[in-house]
Structure 1
């Protein structure tokens, strides 16, 4: 039987409801304080100094309230915001406003976030309808929420046309963020006279089914079996993080002498970190920002396998230092109950669970003397010597010891010094810089003088990729790319000779030493090539024997792939540019797919095994990749040559590579398509505009359509620190709008008469889905609908296996429809005639470009 409430309980409940009711009245009063809400269909009477503002909140979790302020206080409160896009129209006096606060939670608890960045500011203009962008809320975890502003004006225009049909035609509508957006007026002009309902202008065509796919996408993109390895100091045991065919993850122990493999653990989560504390103590970590660790104590061999104990470390955190001089301790950092970072010594002892951060107390912390610290570094004796702290919203490196630390440098959006490691005594910071240099060099930085003290390694015109350090924490080698191949350049003669021997043993392939034991007699090698999927080898120096350990992607091990050829070409202004042509086997001229990389600045293509390239080449199509100006690896001047050359000299470089490839190799220039992701998608579209009739089709994955929109709908322009760099690299929409529109495919949609395929994730924060939404709309106004795949929960790039399968199978069908069949496709078709057809789940993707 249910019991009634006591008098005290009733009074308490009534008190709570009265408080909530009073709060609701207060919020209602505030809602009417300075902005007044305009109901759908209402024709408001505006004063001479008033305008209209569209307030839109897109939330994936319920919001109690969002407050808008001006300099005098709260002017509007949006209450009880549900999931999805919530849009309202308000009348307000002309002036400066900002999104100010957001309350999450329930009537039992409330968490308030204050929005301080200047991206949340906007201006209301008298006599106009303004839109400051959608306020986006996306919870990342129970304790972390991401907020940002994104300019998604097209669905707002659609909403105004529907809900305020009398207001929108007679009032100017404009975006009111930090940068201008010419699209609303451009769209109004293009839409004039077209009476088709907006929801009928959002769709695209489904991708055609491929004739046959020689290597199915689900096979090509099956995840690697091996994701991480670590060799113990003695060199007799190798730990591997592996993924089983059933989707489970495991940690395997390989006895290199006996060739015996045994499973230490199986779970639904993969090990992202494997490290040996000593030759019989392995630590495995799972997680990203906050990692859970498990210690494995390896025992003696019995019945062919080793005994072991599995001991989880309580709590989560990150390893700061392995403390090689202290057998039973490591340094870890993690957050306490108040959200503050604490560094502790963790003792690796226990029978069931090691007491780690679960019992950590702030009073026991080793990291004292700084605030807002986010990461720590120790010297060779395990003493804390440096930390990354946040000052003025900027990552800052401090250095010192014993609780006294001084700021030595601040991170920069571009250039500057990037730390790589501390010396054993902690008095030198090794890192990379190209300041006042022709390329990125490995240097030693003196925190006492706050200057670079010496150059450790420099190679003219070559950017250093990484450095290799020995147990004494001194750099012994660097890695960089040359002619597309990874080069490891050692500083001592013995290792230089070893590197020559390795490349002689694996001609035409990239060979990198992943791990070596303490006496350098046992090595684990990574070996791959453009036409050879990666493999792991064990090299026993004592016996001069190399043996295959694992195929990293075993499903690809027995397949045949196409090799790549290096081209050196001269661009329109004489700049020397490198390109790679993957040429499938066969006779006769091959159709060509031009595949520009993303970036465009600081990114480049490499001569490594590339699943995307090989998937296309397996269909009998040649693939051309171009390291155009701006690409990484060729020095500072080459990178900076890409600045402000979007759609211009960058595409001239690609054009020069196409011409050189067609002249030197058996390619059919009458059958070419262009395909790219991110900037590569933009490049594909803008090249089709610049060279009409050259390509039979163009494909854009997560690509830009509007250069100016990138400033108002991208994570690249949200911080005050990154915006000046973006303006220097891309141009400034406030002064360079005409040039930006001239090189934006969106404003040349009528010239894109070739077949177009667009693929984009709706949750892309790097290149907002608005780029594709706008382009789809303009194509549909011309009754030229593109092939469209819109992925509901995907970001910038597709990590989900189902999405990858749908995307690349669709790309295969689209290429085959426009480039035609090849002997490779015909052969695959003949082999597959009796095989059943498997279709992907329809719910995973949408052919609709508009809506949300």
Structure 2
């Protein structure tokens, strides 16, 4: 345990100092990148790797610590501008595999590329090298980090999907992580975009998709048969998806998700008999989480499900009992097991609740010890934050909708309020700590985050509401939420602002057009404003037909649902913030509406973030964004 004490000592500088009696914390307390992120145990549990974000200088560093000796190594450094750390994991006790991504430009099109690094940590200094590189005679894969299997019984090799012969039709290669020698295991074939290996490391499944016609299917190998058999077929443009999730320890048992009626459920199928069995369903919500595996048994022991008591459903009784014991040890918090050593005697868990930022703990089951080691937001203390309340409200057509309401500390009666629609729109809100919401509430605003139609998790028909529905019922659900807040004496009628990012940014701009008298102000971060332009731009990409299915293809209809074409209807001040290097929603989307508003002498502010992406990955840009929102809201909500 000496190494743990050293790690806590190393981190203790950051467990600081906030005046719990302060009504307002510094903006930077909320807008700093999480201090520590995504810790990962080595197979023995004797080492830990994690992302550390530094404030001065503003860099992100993949760091490893030997828990026995306290030896700390800085493995990969990123400024989050030219290159970003996407993910990392231990290949074995001495080597980590790291994915990095960066933005490239071809013609007028910006896109993301990824590369794969192996980092050895067993020497005096870490040794870093690129792996899975194409040969000179092969085409360069845009994505070189798609690992199909880490081959647990072969610590020197991994399986990687690479489209070295034809773009977007990858084959699978066995790659030596020490000398980068590779050999092809499976050749790329008709329309298979993704490959899956079983728990023994054999490539057994391919997911096919025809981007032109939407035809999709899952092909599998059965037993020792080298033939690829069609298992499921559907049309992705017309039908609900069937999604393979992973194999059991038995290589002939495949878990997959499929809709049972309107709700997504978990199934498993015996590939030899082709008999399927329902494993788990929730009659009220989709079961759309990933599988949970035991590192010790190499088998499936549960599924992530946000609407279960612990966010997980276990059918392994020992893991279920262990989870309950941890809940008792850490009362009042949500407890999530995030990683184990190979023998599962050592583990990492993550805790949070609505008003407590996340903390990681290191546990040793043999020693029955549990020690906090990594904090995400050390400057935020729970005493100055506030919990979220799960609520429901009724839309104008009688549909009951869910959401999360956060009131500022000491609120009595109606207060200035922020309606905060989520991005996606194929996403949803949950309980638990949220740094945007906590920031707004700390400023004295009530915050409401509704799961409007188009959100995921509530069934097929509910999610399908987003298809060519931007600006319609989805937007009306937000209007109804705002009116409900006033009716319930939560919000002051003339003190409401709508604030959103990505799709939420579109919804904020659209609210200023569609309901110009409802809100006092609006903030759009990285939002869409021109659907017609978005559909037109999608022609450069493979998924253009899917974009048209989602948004529509009729030019006049798209313009009618695009706030940039209706700037004349806006009566309220709007703040637009957008990263100049955003490859998810191009900065031109904000520029279009800003230009239209300025031409009409409307009250508009625009901040373009240098090198900024869609996710506020750069520390200075996160500070700029939160300070700008703070100033804007104080000005217009008083």
Q: TM-score range by the shorter chain?
A: 0.7 to 0.9
Q: CA shift at 1:420, angstroms?
A: 1.9
How many pairs align?
575
Alignment deviations for residues 813-847 of structure 1 (CA, whole Å, 9 cap, x no partner): 11111111xxxxxxxxxxxxxxxxxxxxxxxxxxx
Distance 2:331 2:486 in 1: 28
What's the counterpart of residue 779 of structure 1? Answer: 597
Distance 1:497 1:574, change over 3 A: farther
What's the counterpart of residue 149 of structure 2? Answer: 321
Choose the corresponding residue for 1:238, options 48, 59, 71. Answer: 48
Secondary structure at the residue paired with 2:323?
helix
Q: CA shift at 1:809, angstroms?
A: 1.5
Q: CA shift at 1:220, angstroms?
A: 2.4
Choose the corresponding residue for 1:554, options 378, 399, 408. Answer: 378
CA contact (8 A) 2:359 2:375 kept: yes
CA contact (8 A) 1:716 1:722 kept: no
Distance 2:202 2:358 in 1: 39
What's the counterpart of residue 811 of structure 1? Answer: 629
With normalisation by structure 2, the TM-score equals 0.78
Distance 2:475 2:166 in 1: 48
What's the counterpart of residue 262 of structure 1? Answer: 71
What's the counterpart of residue 83 of structure 1? Answer: none
Distance 1:749 1:403 in 2: 60
What's the counterpart of residue 704 of structure 1? Answer: 528
Distance 1:456 1:239, change over 3 A: same
Alignment deviations for residues 53-79 of structure 1 (CA, whole Å, 9 cap, x no partner): xxxxxxxxxxxxxxxxxxxxxxxxxxx
What's the counterpart of residue 228 of structure 1? Answer: 38
Segment of structure 1 superposing worse, 602-611 or 388-397: 388-397
Distance 1:384 1:772 in 2: 44
What's the counterpart of residue 365 of structure 1? Answer: 184
Distance 1:325 1:814, change over 3 A: closer
Secondary structure at the residue paired with 1:527?
strand
What's the counterpart of residue 619 of structure 2? Answer: 801
What's the counterpart of residue 383 of structure 1? Answer: 202
Distance 1:674 1:426, change over 3 A: same
Q: CA shift at 1:598, angstroms?
A: 1.9
Alignment deviations for residues 603-644 of structure 1 (CA, whole Å, 9 cap, x no partner): 111213222222222221121111112211222232234444
CA contact (8 A) 1:250 1:263 kept: no
Q: CA shift at 1:487, angstroms?
A: 1.2
Q: CA shift at 1:675, angstroms?
A: 1.2
Distance 2:354 2:332 in 1: 9
Secondary structure at the residue paired with 1:440?
strand
Choose the corresponding residue for 1:610, options 434, 438, 441. Answer: 434
What's the counterpart of residue 336 of structure 2? Answer: 512
What's the counterpart of residue 745 of structure 1? Answer: 563
**Mapping 1:431-510, distance limit 5 Å:** 431-434=256-259, 437-445=261-269, 453-464=276-287, 465-471=289-295, 472-482=297-307, 487-510=311-334
Q: CA shift at 1:658, angstroms?
A: 3.1
Choose the corresponding residue for 1:757, options 558, 571, 575. Answer: 575
Q: Confirm whether residue 419 of structure 1 aligns to residue 244 of structure 2.
A: yes
Q: Confirm whether residue 251 of structure 1 aligns to residue 74 of structure 2.
A: no
Unaligned runs of 5+ in 2: 1-21, 79-83, 102-113, 133-143
**Mapping 1:267-416, distance limit 5 Å:** 267-269=76-78, 272-277=86-91, 280-288=93-101, 289-297=114-122, 315-316=131-132, 318=145, 319-326=147-154, 328-333=155-160, 345=174, 354-357=178-181, 360=182, 364-368=183-187, 370=189, 376-387=195-206, 397-400=218-221, 404-406=227-229, 408=231, 412=236, 415-416=240-241
Q: Confirm whether residue 537 of structure 1 aligns to residue 356 of structure 2.
A: no
Secondary structure at the residue paired with 2:517?
coil
Q: CA shift at 1:324, angstroms?
A: 3.1
What's the counterpart of residue 206 of structure 1? Answer: none
Secondary structure at the residue paired with 1:229?
strand
Alignment deviations for residues 618-673 of structure 1 (CA, whole Å, 9 cap, x no partner): 22112111111221122223223444443333233333333444454654333111
Secondary structure at the residue paired with 2:402?
strand
Secondary structure at the residue paired with 1:290?
strand
Choose the corresponding residue for 2:554, options 722, 725, 733. Answer: 733
Distance 1:541 1:473, change over 3 A: closer
CA contact (8 A) 1:716 1:766 kept: no
Distance 1:461 1:725, change over 3 A: farther
Q: CA shift at 1:548, angstroms?
A: 0.9
Alignment deviations for residues 484-518 of structure 1 (CA, whole Å, 9 cap, x no partner): x8611111333333333333444443221101234
**Mapping 1:80-95, distance limit 5 Å:** none
Alignment deviations for residues 441-499 of structure 1 (CA, whole Å, 9 cap, x no partner): 222246668x772222211122222221234553211112239x861111133333333
Alignment deviations for residues 328-363 of structure 1 (CA, whole Å, 9 cap, x no partner): 543333769878967555567xxxxx3223xx4xxx
What's the counterpart of residue 632 of structure 1? Answer: 456
What's the counterpart of residue 74 of structure 1? Answer: none
Distance 1:714 1:382, change over 3 A: closer
Distance 1:781 1:271 in 2: 41
What's the counterpart of residue 608 of structure 2? Answer: 790
CA contact (8 A) 1:419 1:430 kept: yes
Distance 1:585 1:355 in 2: 58
CA contact (8 A) 2:162 2:173 kept: no
CA contact (8 A) 2:535 2:544 kept: no
Secondary structure at the residue paired with 1:606?
coil
Distance 1:520 1:547, change over 3 A: same
Q: Confirm whether residue 522 of structure 1 aligns to residue 350 of structure 2.
A: no
Distance 2:422 2:598 in 1: 28
**Mapping 1:589-668, distance limit 5 Å:** 589-600=414-425, 602-664=426-488, 666-668=490-492
CA contact (8 A) 1:477 1:491 kept: yes
Secondary structure at the residue paired with 2:594?
helix
Distance 1:416 1:221 in 2: 37
Distance 1:645 1:808 in 2: 30
Distance 2:430 2:23 in 1: 25
Distance 1:535 1:620 in 2: 25
Q: CA shift at 1:521, angstroms?
A: 3.7
Distance 2:474 2:185 in 1: 51
**Mapping 1:198-237, distance limit 5 Å:** 214-237=24-47
Distance 1:611 1:248, change over 3 A: closer
- Higher alpha-carbon Rg: 1
Q: CA shift at 1:808, angstroms?
A: 2.3
CA contact (8 A) 2:211 2:543 kept: no
Q: CA shift at 1:534, angstroms?
A: 0.9
Alignment deviations for residues 191-229 of structure 1 (CA, whole Å, 9 cap, x no partner): xxxxxxxxxxxxxxxxxxxxx994444442322233332
CA contact (8 A) 2:160 2:175 kept: no
Distance 1:462 1:268, change over 3 A: same
